[in-house]
Amino acid sequence: MRAESGPGGRVDIHDLDRVLLIGAGVLLVAILAVRASVGVGLPSLLFYLGLGVLLGDSILGVPFDDAALAQALGFGALVLILAEGGLTTSWVKVRDSVGIGLLLATVGSAVSVVVVAVAGHVLFGLDWQLAVLLAAVTAPTDAAAVFSVLRRVPLRPRVIGTLEAESGLNDAPIVLLVVAVSAGTWSDHHPVVLGLVMVAELVGGGVLGFVIGRAAAWALRRVALGSSGLYPLAVLATIVFAYGATTFVHGSGFAAVYVCALVLGNAELPHRAASRSFAEGIGWLAQIGLFVMLGLLVTPATITWWQVEVGIVIGAVLTFVARPLSVLVCTAFSSMTWREQAFLSWAGLRGAVPIVLAAIPLAYDVESAASMFNIVFVFVVVYTVLQAPTLPWAARRLGVTVDQPTELDLEAAPLERMQADLLQVHVSRGSRLAGVEVGELRLPPGVQVALLVRAGESFVPHRTTRLKRADDLLVVAPREKRAEAEERLRQVSRSGRLAGWYE
């Protein structure tokens, strides 16, 4: 971005005032766009992208053409988006489908790259470097689109688990491929060697992310920080540290981020709910900033009809040929039904990731990179509009939805000197804790309901006190009984007073 600043090119307080004014205004409009996007069934990313185009040089006149800066900021935003995705993903729901997700992220991506590259070369006469680049940048599904769109659809656990694992892991090998092709070093290595390097960096990043996540979880459970607000910051800082440490040793930073966040999100940490809420807010902020920035980078006046045609045709090849073929190859020996395979084929959402990756060739001054960027922009907009609104309908028609159980609203904080934990439980709408007497909870020995807050009034409940909707309970559990107490509360929240006997 080029902007006039104070004397001598320095940024003065007036520049800061303008930046804060415009930035806050854009953020507020983007937040309101979330509601509008839900109403029309489109992902909010399109609104953010459109907002960036509106602000850009062609319309309102905000100049931005620094591809290297866009790449750097884009990578930073993707780190935060993947962190939010990993922290809010339930390992129990995805563990059975991580293998297929990893296959789609590697083998499936390779299939897509080959099919789309051949199509670009044969149908439009693109040279092999540009054809492979176009195929590579359009191959990965987008974590922001998957997390924001599909989590509103009650899908079968292994379907949503596969899609989340794929979108969390497929950025890593594709980034390596795009950088190698853009820098011109891909021809220096045999394809098998290049593939092995990608797999090694992906595995190394995953292992390092797991180790850092487990070590941080162990430490955070045993260190009582001075404020509850420090725990979310510590969790996010750990995830970003995992990215930096992994890239420093030439591993896949994106794989490390997702795995580290997945470990921390499923560990029994103090103030875990607050950490997830904080990560969700940061994730939204990263999405908004990322898409607005990419919209600024686009100049609609430079998009030609040939680029529109290529974007639509290549998108059709990817959506209707390459994606179904990659899903078929990766799930051929699994127990997935044809209905689940069909939905996986249709649900390969692309969003910011292809546009971020398309900025890499721009930063390397690859010939025709600007044309490819426009092609990718057209492809993302057209196929997001086509696919995203139809996903709930497709899920219902294919029968891959499930009834969503009510999750227990629980938050924990450590009581270090007592070697105990304080559990805060909220009786939410739909929870079958409502109507259950305290004595009927049948909590483990030593675990006590210490306080009940109802309509702003707090009191110590009796065994015969009946819980009501919107109540808040404070439960004190010895550290060795905490897991058992949480599981018992979840059982009662799902099945009521007969939980255990009934099940």
pLDDT per position as a tens digit, 266-307: 887 777 777 887 888 888 888 888 888 888 888 888 889 999
Are the CB atoms for 276 and 265 separated by under 8 Å?
yes
Six token digits for residue 120: 């670009």
Angle between helices 128-138 and 352-363 (to 10 degrees): 150
SS3 226: coil
Does residue 4 surpass a pLDDT of 50?
no
For residue 436, the one-letter residue type is: V
Higher pLDDT, 150 or 323: 323
Averaged over 479-488, what is the pLDDT? 85
- The Cα–Cα gap between 327 and 341 comes to 7
Given pLDDT bands bounded at 50, 70 and 90, which one contains residue 115? very high
- Residue 500 is predicted with a pLDDT of 63
Each residue's pLDDT tens digit, 201-236: 888 888 999 999 999 988 887 777 767 778 888 899
Are the CB atoms for 102 and 117 separated by under 8 Å?
no
Write down all domains in the chain, each with its CATH number in brackets. 30-398 (1.20.1530.20), 409-498 (3.30.70.1450)
Return all residues near 422 (Cβ < 8 A) that are at least 6 apart: 412, 413, 414, 415, 474, 475, 476
- The Cα–Cα gap between 379 and 239 comes to 32
- Residue 323 is predicted with a pLDDT of 93
- Residue 180 is predicted with a pLDDT of 83
Six token digits for residue 398: 């294919």
**How far does Cα 105 stand from its chain's mean position?**
15
- Residue 317 is predicted with a pLDDT of 94
Number of residues written out for the chain: 503
- Residue 199 is predicted with a pLDDT of 79
Averaged over 316-321, what is the pLDDT? 93
Given pLDDT bands bounded at 50, 70 and 90, which one contains residue 321? very high
- Residue 2 is predicted with a pLDDT of 46
- Residue 309 is predicted with a pLDDT of 93
Share of the chain above pLDDT 90, in %: 21
Does residue 172 surpass a pLDDT of 90?
no
Each residue's pLDDT tens digit, 400-446: 887 655 567 787 777 767 778 888 888 887 788 888 999 889 899 99
Report pTM.
0.73
Each residue's pLDDT tens digit, 29-83: 777 766 655 555 456 677 777 778 887 766 776 777 777 888 788 888 888 888 8
Does residue 392 surpass a pLDDT of 70?
yes
Higher pLDDT, 423 or 192: 423
Given pLDDT bands bounded at 50, 70 and 90, which one contains residue 87? confident
Identify the bridge partners of residue 411 per DSSP, sorted by sequence position. Answer: 424
Does residue 7 surpass a pLDDT of 60?
no
Residue whose C-alpha is closest to residue 349's, from 102, 146, 152: 146
Are the CB atoms for 326 and 109 separated by under 8 Å?
yes
SS3 347: coil
- Residue 203 is predicted with a pLDDT of 85
Mean pLDDT of all residues belonging to the chain:
82
Residue whose C-alpha is closest to residue 143's, from 94, 80, 52, 51: 80
Higher pLDDT, 185 or 113: 113
Share of the chain above pLDDT 70, in %: 89
